[in-house]
Amino acid sequence: MKSAYWGMILALSMVVTGSVNIIMAKLQNNTTITKCTSNGTHTSCEEDSFNHPGVQTWYMFIGETLCLGVFFISKYLYRRRERLGLLKEGEVEPKLTNPWHIFLYPALCDITATTLMNIGLLFTAASVYQMLRGASVLFTALFSVLFLRRRLRIHHYIGLYLVVTGITIVGVASVVFGDDNNESSSNMVLGIVLVIAAQVVVATQFIVEEKFIGKYSVPPIAVVGSEGIFGLVIVSCILPALQYINISGKPIEDTRDAFKYLEESWVMDAAVPGYIFSIAFFNFCGVSITKFLSATHRSTIDSCRTVVVWVFSLIVGWEDFLWLQLIGFFFLVSGTFMYNEVYPLPFMNFWRNLFSCFPSCFAHLDEQDEEKSKLLVNSEDNYNNGKLEIKQTSNSAY
């Protein structure tokens, strides 16, 4: 009973922190401050919104790095229980015995994917952004077949088809019915393309983690923290360089301007720490669910936060309700659940039993045919023997 309550707490925490993560990111993008420029004789002021995806990526890696703190705390608690003789049978001390350079490859994927998604979030609604992230299931399945030589069953293909259908419906609904402004519609298309492209990189990260890190014995929470360390160092080196690379008279990523929002907006003072700590807790809860339950439970619970983000966006007026998006969400969740074999198990068992029945059915038919052929041969032999006996009898009679 205690483990059941612990699982429920983890699941609820994962949904809440995952939803807070998306909401805090969107809240940052919607934050505006007043910027004034002066040419000596005239001063003009205008509202400017937060547009710093690179800095948001940096914030994300700070949150992931905090997961290393959880790892070292668990390591300390293990040694304390060891001294007190309270260790359970089979309990192993968490260690970082792997070569650290293997965390560099998924960290590079994480940098690319997160930056693309942060840019895409600038042009899309928070709920649409979260729904489009379901495309990672499709690309992960594709790459697992190509690079890990896995085989998919019929319910996997049906699930992927439903996911693609849902993504298409959500994308079309957002572009066609989301805004009448042509410029906004083109930005929406760009945002959708960037978010979907990011899922290709996310799928690559999953494959890289399984291919290179999976063969080492390392706690998942340490994987997240180690990737966070690499990502934090790399992004910290890149951001200053982007400050001096200008496009159309503006830096690619103006870090000083991003920090100015923290000075002038109390909303950012709440959104940034909320974003960082929600990422840390979300990863901790996700890894714990994978450990105590399964990866299927994690992906299923993760899809539930789409509802929370969507409802929150509708309540605060970030977007309007669209029936087409609801239909797309239904297809996305149905496809994800079917791919992860959450449901409908009776349906899959029916087809599995049907296909497994075919050989036995054919064997049964073959047995029937064999019995019929034997009967025909026996009857034909009896008929020929009867004819021979009649002939011999008639010959003897004459």
Average pLDDT of the residues in 293-299:
66
The dihedral sign for the CA sequence 93, 97, 101, 102 = negative
pLDDT of residue 321: 86
- Per the structure, the count of domains in the chain is 2
Dump pLDDT digits (tens) for 309-367.
988 998 998 888 888 888 998 898 888 888 877 655 444 454 444 444 444 444 444 44
pLDDT of residue 195: 94
pLDDT at 292 over 60: yes
Find all residues with CB under 8 Å of 30, minimum gap 6, and list them.
49, 50, 318
Average pLDDT of the residues in 281-300:
76
pLDDT of residue 21: 94
Average pLDDT of the residues in 59-82:
92
Host domain of residue 200: 17-34+48-342
Distance CA 46, CA 19 (A): 31
Q: Is residue 7 one of the residues assigned to a domain?
A: no
The confidence band for 240, taking pLDDT boundaries of 50, 70 and 90, is: very high
Three-class SS string for the chain?
Answer: CHHHHHHHHHHHHHHHHHHHHHHHHHHHHHCEEEEEEECCCCEEEEEEECCCHHHHHHHHHHHHHHHHHHHHHHHHHHHHHHHHCCCCCCCCCCCCCCCHHHHHHHHHHHHHHHHHHHHHHHHCCHHHHHHHCCHHHHHHHHHHHHHCCCCCCHHHHHHHHHHHHHHHHHHHHHHHHCCCCHHHHHHHHHHHHHHHHHHHHHHHHHHHHHHHHCCCCCCHHHHHHHHHHHHHHHHHHHHHHHCCCEECCEECCCHHHHHHHHHHCHHHHHHHHHHHHHHHHHHHHHHHHHHHCCHHHHHHHHHHHHHHHHHHHHHHCCCCCCHHHHHHHHHHHHHHHHHCCCCCHHHHHHHHHHHHHHHHHHHHHHHHHHHHHHHHHHHHHHHHHHHHHHHHHHHHHC
> Which of 342, 361, 382 corresponds to the end of one domain?
342
pLDDT of residue 296: 60
Q: Are 277 and 239 part of one and the same domain?
A: yes
pLDDT of residue 387: 40
Q: Are 356 and 248 part of one and the same domain?
A: no
Higher-pLDDT residue of 298 and 23 is 23
Q: Is residue 231 one of the residues assigned to a domain?
A: yes
pLDDT of residue 322: 85
Q: Are 362 and 266 part of one and the same domain?
A: no
pLDDT of residue 332: 87
Higher-pLDDT residue of 284 and 277 is 277
Higher-pLDDT residue of 311 and 218 is 311
The confidence band for 375, taking pLDDT boundaries of 50, 70 and 90, is: very low
349-353's contacts with Cβ under 8 Å and 24+ in sequence apart are 351/154, 351/155
Q: Are 301 and 330 part of one and the same domain?
A: yes
Q: Are 365 and 250 part of one and the same domain?
A: no
Most confident of 122-136, 138-152, 225-239, 344-358: 225-239
Q: Is residue 161 one of the residues assigned to a domain?
A: yes
Q: Which of 188-202, 245-259, 267-281 has the lowest mean pLDDT?
A: 245-259
Average pLDDT of the residues in 111-117:
95
Q: Are 170 and 58 part of one and the same domain?
A: yes
pLDDT of residue 388: 37
Q: Is residue 6 one of the residues assigned to a domain?
A: no
pLDDT of residue 193: 93
Average pLDDT of the residues in 18-43:
86
Most confident of 50-54, 147-151, 206-210: 50-54
- Which of 78, 11, 70, 68 minimizes the C-alpha distance to 285? 11
As a whole number, the mean pLDDT across the chain is 80
> Which of 323, 342, 361 corresponds to the end of one domain?
342
Q: Is residue 378 one of the residues assigned to a domain?
A: no
Higher-pLDDT residue of 368 and 49 is 49
Q: Which of 166-170, 277-281, 294-298 has the lowest mean pLDDT?
A: 294-298
Dihedral Cα 378, 379, 383, 388, nearest 10 deg:
10
Average pLDDT of the residues in 373-392:
43
Q: Are 271 and 357 part of one and the same domain?
A: no
The confidence band for 383, taking pLDDT boundaries of 50, 70 and 90, is: very low
Q: Are 323 and 364 part of one and the same domain?
A: no
Dump pLDDT digits (tens) for 142-159.
988 888 888 888 888 888
Q: Is residue 95 one of the residues assigned to a domain?
A: yes
Q: Between β-strands 43-49 and 246-247, what pairing exists: parallel, antiparallel or unpaired?
A: unpaired
The confidence band for 245, taking pLDDT boundaries of 50, 70 and 90, is: confident
Q: Are 367 and 277 part of one and the same domain?
A: no
The percentage of the chain sitting over the pLDDT mark of 90, rounded to a whole number, equals 29
Higher-pLDDT residue of 255 and 174 is 255
Q: Is residue 384 one of the residues assigned to a domain?
A: no
Q: Is residue 61 one of the residues assigned to a domain?
A: yes
Q: Are 355 and 278 part of one and the same domain?
A: no
Q: Are 253 and 364 part of one and the same domain?
A: no
pLDDT of residue 178: 65
Higher-pLDDT residue of 378 and 232 is 232
Q: Are 245 and 326 part of one and the same domain?
A: yes
